[in-house]
Structure 1
């Protein structure tokens, strides 16, 4: 199996490359080479996803059986990439997002739910940001989906609408923030109801499903956790790995956090009050081979990575200790 990965050194791209190499596949990585080392065992092609000449040069290095695109954000750039690769690859696997749905995060979602309208040749910043509704990020990904389908057709493309992704090497910082917070100990502010179902998915499980699609599975799929585990399960797993003796997890109701103007989604990572946040139907993906591991396993492996590499915390993620103390004091009163 000959695989091309667009972006192969960070998080999901890294996991895709690692999994493909473990299967004995012939892997080519297209990247700028500015950050991170080339993965061992791959052929690297230097270039910029946004550079037309670089993309044309990339196509001449083929052919491949499939491409996994983790770099698609601007529709007109993805349209140019897909057009250049049309005759160089057999199948196109696009990593998209649940944010393409017009109803996210308010409504439950299936693959038939309405999608944001974005043309295949839209430029950066197309669309608008709503609260809690659409985002330019979601519009951009929707346009990228349209670009790939227009060029490759539905029978040669797989679109993975991915939810929150956790696991080792996570750069967004959601899982690492919670593990580091629990490691500090004391009274840990936990958001809302511990029984709230959540659907994070492990990066390695997304990679595995992407490679299944590269082998020939086509279609549009919601890719997320099963929803059988809760926020309480997640924080319990974090505490089991990282909490010092005497740590107390304090669950504060949504209305208190909203009244204190705590930022949803980032102030307390993964906390959001809207009912559709964790309501994506993944039955199609599971029927096509998606298998997701437990939150406890994801947390455990993320913790081991943090201990081994101690990466810099992600910017803009989490509340400060002073903010946390103020909310806890207000809730106690």
Structure 2
């Protein structure tokens, strides 16, 4: 779940990377999936369920998109695809905290990025398009000082610039 007020750093990391003038490590080959949902869509659906007495268990997810699409929507034009999932070198072993939102194909957690929202949609759940969510979030970040959005203890877990440069260069 992402949107205005989200200080988790998951989406903020990539929005900040989209502004970088140096090469940006993009994980994998661009074919892995990622998925998030706009907090406003979740709130609207919960309110709708309460008002209309809609009951049940629902997966409130946005569409699954490829990392290639994600990078394009963010406008990352200096990205470098690095296969960090199969690279066995110790310095390339990257965690979910270092590369937020990345769940490579082949690991159990990858299924978290391909959740069906069909049942929820049949019950009135609507999803904001990804580009609108990204733009809204980026605007919110800009209004609140992008560097202040994510707390330092979370930022300290992100992929270090030096390590990123080494991985991009192949060393």
Same fold, judged at TM 0.5 (above):
yes
The structure carrying a bigger helix percent of its residues is 2
- Give the aligned CA root-mean-square deviation in angstroms: 1.9
Specify whether residues 298 and 258 from structure 1 end up closer, same or farther in structure 2 by C-alpha distance, changes over 3 A only.
farther
Of 13, 24, 28 in structure 2, the residue corresponding to residue 177 of structure 1 is 13
Of 33, 56, 80 in structure 2, the residue corresponding to residue 250 of structure 1 is 80
Cα pair 1:191 1:257 within 8 Å, conserved: no
1:217 partnered with 2:58: no
Structure 1: 5+ residue stretches without partners: 1-164
Cα pair 2:24 2:79 within 8 Å, conserved: yes
The structure carrying a bigger strand percent of its residues is 1
1:319 partnered with 2:155: no
**Cα offset, 1:169, TM superposition:** 1.7
Q: Which has the higher contact order (CA 8 A, sep 6+)?
A: 2
1-side partners of 2:88 and 2:166: how far apart? 11
Q: TM-score, normalised by structure 1?
A: 0.45
In our comparison, the structure showing a higher alpha carbon Rg is 1
Matched positions, count:
159
Report what 1:261 is aligned to.
93
Alignment of 1:79-228 (within 5 A): 165-215=1-51, 216-227=53-64
Q: TM-score, normalised by structure 2?
A: 0.84
Report what 1:233 is aligned to.
69
Structure 2: 5+ residue stretches without partners: none
2-side partners of 1:280 and 1:208: how far apart? 19
Report what 1:272 is aligned to.
103
Cα pair 1:173 1:313 within 8 Å, conserved: yes
**Cα offset, 1:257, TM superposition:** 7.7
**Cα offset, 1:184, TM superposition:** 2.0
**Cα offset, 1:328, TM superposition:** 1.0
Specify whether residues 257 and 174 from structure 1 end up closer, same or farther in structure 2 by C-alpha distance, changes over 3 A only.
farther
2-side partners of 1:226 and 1:166: how far apart? 13
**Cα offset, 1:234, TM superposition:** 1.7
Deviation by residue 1:69-111 (Cα, 9 ceiling, x = unmatched):
xxxxxxxxxxxxxxxxxxxxxxxxxxxxxxxxxxxxxxxxxxx
Cα pair 2:11 2:101 within 8 Å, conserved: no
